[in-house]
């Protein structure tokens, strides 16, 4: 491998994500990842000791983005305008770069993620974001609407099955549905 260490790690992540999505996490081995990359298992092992480490590595960026959103939301008033800005920022983060592939991986490997630390961290961040979306209205209905608002954004990757829809069209549909839910949460102010 003649690439930089960073480039090699990114190639490993991309190939692993592709295989995990195609075959499932449990059915993909480190050997298969190495073979698709055209490297030895030892070369792969130099960068990642396990499949869990690979998953954690591509989840870290998503967790960082979610932490930034949670921190930002905590400094804003609990209004509909803030909730709309928060879900729009969330959608921007989820539709950026390689994250659509990560979303497909999550959707297709939910059972495995429940037992991985990355999956537990994702659930924690999702609940914290939902709490920010309904801050000021802690009713059960508001809590459910807040969670469904987040799911409207990320479930659009598998729920919308229109054959030639663009990412921008998918995002707009998800945000329109999310906005309907947000409008029913009471303002804290």
Tell me, yes or no, whether 34 lies in a domain: yes
95-144 tens-digit pLDDT: 776 556 666 777 777 777 777 787 888 889 999 999 999 998 989 999 99
Read out DSSP for the chain? --S-HHHHHHHHHHHHHHHHHHH-TTT--HHHHHHHHTS-HHHHHHH-SSHHHHHHHHHHHHHHHHHHHHHHHHTS-SSHHHHHHHHHHHHHHHTSTTHHHHHHHHHHTHHHHTTSHHHHHHHHHHHHHHHHHTTT--SHHHHHHHHHHHHHHHTHHHH---TT--HHHHHHHHHHHHHHHHTTSPP--
64-95 tens-digit pLDDT: 889 999 999 999 999 999 999 999 999 988 77
Residue 67: CATH number of its domain: 1.10.357
Choice between 77 and 157, residue whose per-residue pLDDT is larger? 77
Residue 34: CATH number of its domain: 1.10.10.60
The pLDDT > 90 percentage for the chain reads 49
Domain encompassing residue 3: 1-49
Choice between 137 and 188, residue whose per-residue pLDDT is larger? 137
pLDDT at 49 over 70: yes
- Please tell me the distance from the alpha carbon of residue 128 to that of residue 74, in angstroms, as a whole number: 10
Residues 45 and 59 in one domain: no
Question: What is the band of 2 on the pLDDT scale with cuts at 50, 70, 90?
Answer: very low
Choice between 188 and 90, residue whose per-residue pLDDT is larger? 90
State whether the Cα torsion 150-98-14-5 is positive or negative: negative
pLDDT at 4 over 60: no
As for how many domains the chain has, the answer is 2
């Amino acid at each position: 491998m003649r690439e930089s260490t960073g480039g090699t790690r990114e190639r490993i992540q991309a190939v692993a994500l592709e295989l995990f999505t195609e075959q499932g996490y449990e059915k993909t081995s480190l050997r298969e990842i190495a073979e698709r990359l055209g490297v030895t298992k030892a070369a792969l092992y130099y960068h990642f000791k396990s499949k869990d480490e690979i998953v954690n590595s591509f989840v870290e960026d998503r967790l960082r983005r979610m932490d930034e959103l949670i921190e930002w939301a905590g400094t804003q008033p609990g209004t509909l305008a803030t909730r709309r800005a928060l879900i729009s920022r969330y959608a921007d983060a989820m539709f950026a770069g390689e994250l659509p592939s990560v979303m497909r991986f999550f959707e297709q490997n939910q059972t495995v993620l429940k037992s991985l630390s990355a999956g537990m961290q994702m659930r924690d961040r999702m609940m914290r974001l939902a709490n920010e979306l309904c801050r000021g209205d802690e009713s059960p209905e508001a809590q459910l609407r807040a969670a469904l608002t987040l799911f409207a954004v990320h479930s659009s990757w598998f729920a919308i099955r229109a054959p030639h829809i663009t990412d921008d069209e998918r995002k707009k549909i998800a945000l329109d549905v999310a906005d309907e839910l947000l409008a029913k949460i009471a303002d804290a102010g």
